[in-house]
Amino acid sequence: GESVGLHLPTLSVQEGDNSIINCAYSNSASDYFIWYKQESGKGPQFIIDIRSNMDKRQGQRVTVLLNKTVKHLSLQIAATQPGDSAVYFCAENRPGNTGKLIFGQGTTLQVKP
């Protein structure tokens, strides 16, 4: 069935290092993907998105890469900071422009000082 999964439940990095969080999706018809950050006690917060007609998109300290061939999505965070510690979810827009999202399982990012 449809699913969006993440490879690692927890990622621990040193402050200042780059972080890479991965996600695999199963629906080749999906055309829009979003990364969210969720801090404890809060709702998911939008980080960056990418459409299927792109391979890469950059934001402030974040980059999302999309590999449609292998249905893989990644989020790169440059110079990771303690404030980046959170759970990160990838989400796949369900085909059909319904606004419905399918979320991956989440990766907890721990930043060590």
Alpha-carbon distance values, 31 to 47, 55, 103 (Å): 17, 12, 14
Residue closer to another protein (CB basis): 42 or 113: 42
Among 11, 89, 92, 109, indicate the residue that binds another protein (CB under 8 A): 89
Q: Which residues contact 58 (CB under 8 A, 6 or more apart)?
A: none
Interatomic CA distance for residues 4 and 2, integer angstroms: 7
Contact pick of 51, 54, 55, 112 for another protein (by CB under 8 A): 51
Interface with another protein, residue 24, by CB under 8 A: no
Is residue 27 at the binding interface for another protein, with CB under 8 A as the rule?
A: no
Tokens of 46: 């939008």
Task: Based on the shown chain and the rule CB under 8 A, indicate whether residue 64 belongs to the binding site for another protein.
Answer: no
CB atoms under 10 Å from CB of 30, counted, come to: 20
Burial class (CB in 10 A: 0-12, 13-18, 19+), 24: middle
How near is the Cβ of 91 to another protein at its closest, in Å?
8
104 interacts with another protein by CB under 8 A: yes
61/95 with CB nearer another protein: 95
List of residues contacting another protein (CB under 8 A): 31-32, 34, 36, 41-46, 49, 51, 89, 91, 93, 97-106
